[in-house]
Amino acid sequence: MKKKTVRDIDVSGKRVLMRVDFNVPLGEDGSILDDRRIRAALPTIEYLLEKGAKLILVSHLGRPKGFDPAYKMDNVARRLSELLGKPVRKLDACVGPEVKQAVEEMKPGDVIMLENVRFYEGETKNDPEFARQLAELADIYVNDAFGTAHRAHASTEGVTKYLPAVAGFLMEKELEFLGKVISAPDKPFVVILGGAKVSDKIGVIENLLDKADTLLIGGGMLFTFLKAKGLEIGKSLLDAEHLDYAKGLLEKAPDKIVLAEDVVVADKIAPDASYKIVPVDSIPPDWIGVDIGPRTVETFSNYIKNAKTIFWNGPMGIYEIEAFAEGTKGVAKAVAESPALSIVGGGDIAAALEELSFADKISHISTGGGASLEFIEGKELPGVAALLDKGCCCCGG
């Protein structure tokens, strides 16, 4: 179901409460290490300000247990102000008389940043009273925080019980691209799966197996599949509980599932490990599979080259160690060069592609790690479900 967006409502002169994901990585001194998440919300923020909204921003930052000065939003508000080129008034609370007062003083085009919403236990508990107090500040609610949409919290779901709720542009973009993967992917549709454990990916496999033409399997989960085929995997990662699942899958879809044919094995997981490339049927005992090999990269690349839609989750190897990042790099290169619509979801793979400088060659890298996977699993995200559907008549759109 399509969701209403900021384009579908009149915001002029209105107080708009906007949930953003400004959960940026912080350095020891509290400085912002990477402001990408702030920049990602700028199109919606700028649009609302141009239309004359009074904009009240709310976000979480880190995982504070109650009030914690290390996680105040001051630096974030300052950075936002620099990016916008206009003042952002930072408040020290999210609700209460002072916040109400500040909101009453707002003029169209003004911006307020509320304090870290996770300082309130009502946030993660989705306390209706806290949600009502937040909602009271505004006339309209906008959600642009896709990365927290899989959590039913007061600022992502609770507030929508009291305010007309629409999507921001970032949210809209995420729903459009990820929606394409689970609804009508152009064929051939190739799914690339890696990462750590089979158990984390079962939901994704189950929801995409029928839609996909090919599932390319690398990463740590590969070895459970190799073991399921009766191969020796040495000390590689094994998800023993899901061995039967892997066996079943190989029987059910033998033509769709493509496993790596060669792997990099190492004597330990460390930058100074000894390592070598071996075919998957020759993994020596005591060695650990840490990456896919060059022949596999070539085979995978051929599927990728001919694809029309690609969904990729999970790195192909232990990319955190440079020597074991070659497989992920090789596959990333093929995805970057492929004319296919390429969509990437997952925290580690998104980080890996940024690090390896492939990010701008991918059609869409989801900003929501966990949220993107839940979406691809076909689960309804509470923060998305709570937004008004397009074609609904309750706010004039």
Q: Is 231 in the site for ligand ADP (CB under 6 A)?
A: no
- How far is residue 158's CA from residue 212's CA, in Å, rounded to a whole number? 36
Cβ at position 216, least distance to Mg ion in Å: 18
Catalytic residue among 52, 203, 370, 397: 370
Which of Mg ion, ligand ADP, none lies near 219, with the C-beta cut-off 5 to 8 A by kind? ligand ADP
For the segment 144-163, give every residue that binds ligand ADP (CB under 6 A): none
Identity of residue 178: L
Under rule CB under 6 A, residue 237 binds ligand ADP: yes
Residues 357-386 that bind ligand ADP (CB under 6 A): 369
315 belongs to the binding site for ligand ADP (CB under 6 A): yes
5/372 with CB nearer ligand ADP: 372
Question: Taking CB under 5 A as the rule, does residue 174 contact Mg ion?
Answer: no
Inter-CA distances, 13 with 10, 55, 101, 238, Å: 9, 10, 17, 58
CA–CA gap between residue 80 and residue 49 (Å, rounded): 14
Q: Tokens 């974030």 label which residue?
A: 76
Q: Smaller CB distance to ligand ADP: residue 158 or 369?
A: 369
**Structural element, H or E, at residue 15:** strand 15-19
Is residue 196 within the footprint of ligand ADP (CB under 6 A)? yes
68 binds, among ligand ADP, Mg ion, none (CB under 5 to 8 A by kind): none
Note whether 249 and 242 are within 8 A (CB).
no
Distance in angstroms (rounded) separating the CA atoms of residues 134 and 115 = 12
**What angle, 0 to 180 degrees and rounded to 10, lies between the N-to-C axes of helices 294-305 and 326-337?**
20
Nearest residue to 366 (alpha-carbon basis) of 314, 328, 316, 297: 314
370 carries an active-site annotation = yes
Asked whether 332 and 356 are in contact (CB, 8 A), the reply is yes
Query: Is 379 one of the catalytic residues?
Result: no
Residues found near ligand ADP in the complex (CB under 6 A): 194-196, 200, 219-220, 237, 289-290, 313-315, 317-318, 320, 346-349, 369
Catalytic site residues? 37, 197, 347, 370
